[in-house]
Amino acid sequence: MTLTYEDVLAKYEPVFGLETHVELNTKSKMFCGCSAEFGGEPNTHTCPVCLGLPGAIPVVNGAAVEATVKIGLALNCSIASWCRFARKNYFYPDMPKNFQISQYDEPLCFDGYLDVEVDGTTYRVGIERVHMEEDTGKNTHIGGATGRIHGAEYSLVDFNRAGIPLIEIVTKPVPGTGALAPQVAKAYVSALRDILRTLGVSDVRMEQGSLRCDVNTSLAPAGSEQWGTRTETKNVNSLRSVERAVRSEMIRQAGLLDAGEKIKQETRHFQETTGDTRPGRSKEEATDYRYFPEPDLVPISASAEWVEQLRAGLPELPAVRRKRLTDAYGISADEMQAMLNAGVVDLVVETGELGAPVAEARNWWTGYLTQRANEREAEVSELGMSPAQVAHLISLVADGTLSTALARQAVDGVLETGEDVDAVIAAKGLKRVSDTGALEVAADAAIAADPDAATKVRDGKVAAVGALVGAVMKATRGQADAAAVREILLAKLGQA
C-alpha cells in the first residue's frame, strides 16, 4: 500500500541537500576562447582545447573567476586566498578528455549560507562550497521511447557545451524542515535563482539547462540522531520539479523502510510526467573519481583587496530589495509572501513602475496569471505576458474600456496567440458595451425571455434579478457593465 505524505511525516524526519549547477553567461568557455553562446550548429563552438586534443593547454577565464567570487559573496561565503583546480576522472561519451577540470578540496568559495522564508518561518540553508568547473557536451539518443540510451538505436554527441563555465553550489545537509522540506528546497532554488539573476552572471534558464539541480534526499526514523542513506535525483530542471522530487523520494523511501528494505545510495532520474523517480546508477564516492591537482593550470590567488572591490560593487540583493519594496509600497508580510511563493515580485514591481497601482498589479500576477501558469505547469514568468501588457490591461479596466472579465479574456488571447493586448481586443471585439440604448434592448429581451424571474423582482425578491443580469451578460458576450445592467433591470421592474 502506498503511504500518504502524512504517514511519512508521522514516522520519519527528512534531510535534503542540493547541488545546483549554474552555467555562467561569459562570452567564451572556461578554458579556451570558443563561444559560450547557447545553441549553434552541432560541434561548431569547439577547438583543440575543449575537444581535449593532445598538447592543447587550458587557460582560465578571468571573467568566470570574478563571477564565481561575486556568487560566493552574495551567499555569505568566505573566499579562499589560494585555491587550485583538480582533474575529476570519469568516462562518458560527452566528456572529450575523459576527465573534467573541476575543484575538489580547495574550492574558491566556502562556508556560506542563504536564508529563505516559508510560511512565515526563516530557514538557514548552509552553503558547503561554491566551486568552478567545466560543463560536459550533450548526448542525443536516437530511437527508443524514453530518449535515454537504453533502447536507442544510436547516439549523437554535440561538444558545443563542453567547456562552458559551470559553477556548482553545494549546500550542507538541511535537517529540521519536517513537512515543509519540499517547499524549503524549492524556496532555496528560487532565492538562489533570484540572486544569480540580480548579479547578472547567468540567464538561469532552467528549461535550457543553464540552471539545474541534483536533489539529495534521505529519511531517518523520527527522533533518531543518525541520518539515513541518501539518494541523488539528477538534473531536475524546474522549481516545481525540485519540490516534487523531494516529496516523491520521501514517500518512496518511507515505503521501502516500512517494508524492512534498505535504501541504496544511488542516482535517480526524475520523471516529469509521473512526478516520481527511476533508478540510475550506484552513487560514486569521491575516491572513485581519482581526483588529483590539474597540472596544466596555475593556482588562483584572490587578494583581499580585489575581493573587497567586488563586494563593494555588488548590486542590491533580492532580500534587501524586498524589504525596501515592502516599506515603500506598504505591502504586508502576507502579501509579500504570496508574491514570493508565486515568483512574481519583480513582475509586480515592474508593472507598478509602468504606472499601474501596485495593489492591482499584485492581484493580477498572484491571481489570474498564477492560475493560468499552474494550469500549464509553468512558471508565471514563462507565460509570455509582460509587465507592460498587464499595466495596459489594468489601465483599460480603470478607464472602463474593459471589465475584469473581458480583461481576463484578453489575457487568454495573448497567451494563445502571442499577439499584443490591443490586437487581441480588436480581433475578439472585447470592448465593453457602453451604449445605454443597446443595454436597454438587451434588458427588455431578458425580461421577455424569463417572465418568472421578472415577476419575482417586481414582487420585491430583488435577488432574482441575478438571472436576468446573467442573461444580458451572455447576450453581450460579457461586454456589458454588470452593475449598470443591474440598475437598468431594477428600474424597468420598479425596484430602482
Residue 238 to residues 196, 201, 216: CA-CA distances in angstroms?
15, 19, 15
Amino acid of residue 195: I
Q: Where are the domains of the chain?
A: 5-310, 317-428, 436-492
pLDDT above 90 covers what percent of the chain?
Answer: 55
Tell me the CATH architecture of domain 436-492.
Orthogonal Bundle (1.10)
CA–CA separation, 360 vs 354, rounded Å?
12
Q: What is the pLDDT of residue 334?
A: 81
Q: Is the pLDDT of residue 179 over 90?
A: yes
Q: Taking CA 215 as the corner, what is the angle to CA 232 and CA 158, rounded to the nearest 5 degrees?
A: 80
Nearby residues of 199 by Cβ (< 8 Å), 6 or more positions away: 67, 70, 71, 74, 314, 315
Percent helix, percent strand, percent coil in the chain, to nearest 5? 40, 20, 40
Cell 573519481 belongs to residue: 289
Dig out the grid coordinates for 480 from the structure.
456589458
CA–CA separation, 12 vs 15, rounded Å?
10
Q: Is the pLDDT of residue 286 over 70?
A: no
Q: What would the pLDDT profile of 295-352 be if each residue is shown by its tens digit?
A: 999 999 999 999 999 999 999 998 888 888 888 888 887 888 788 778 888 899 999 9
Among candidates 33, 74, 293, 276, which has minimal Cα distance to 163? Answer: 33
CA–CA separation, 8 vs 13, rounded Å?
8
Are the C-beta atoms of 291 and 88 separated by less than 8 Å?
Answer: yes
Among candidates 191, 208, 170, which has minimal Cα distance to 23? Answer: 208
Q: What would the pLDDT profile of 9-29 be if each residue is shown by its tens digit?
A: 999 999 999 999 999 999 999
Q: What would the pLDDT profile of 52-109 be if each residue is shown by its tens digit?
A: 999 999 999 999 999 999 999 999 999 999 999 999 998 888 888 989 999 989 999 9
Range ranked top by mean pLDDT from 15-24, 276-285, 434-443:
15-24
Of 83-97, 225-239, 393-407, the one with minimum mean pLDDT is 393-407
Are the C-beta atoms of 205 and 182 separated by less than 8 Å?
Answer: no
CA–CA separation, 495 vs 236, rounded Å?
61
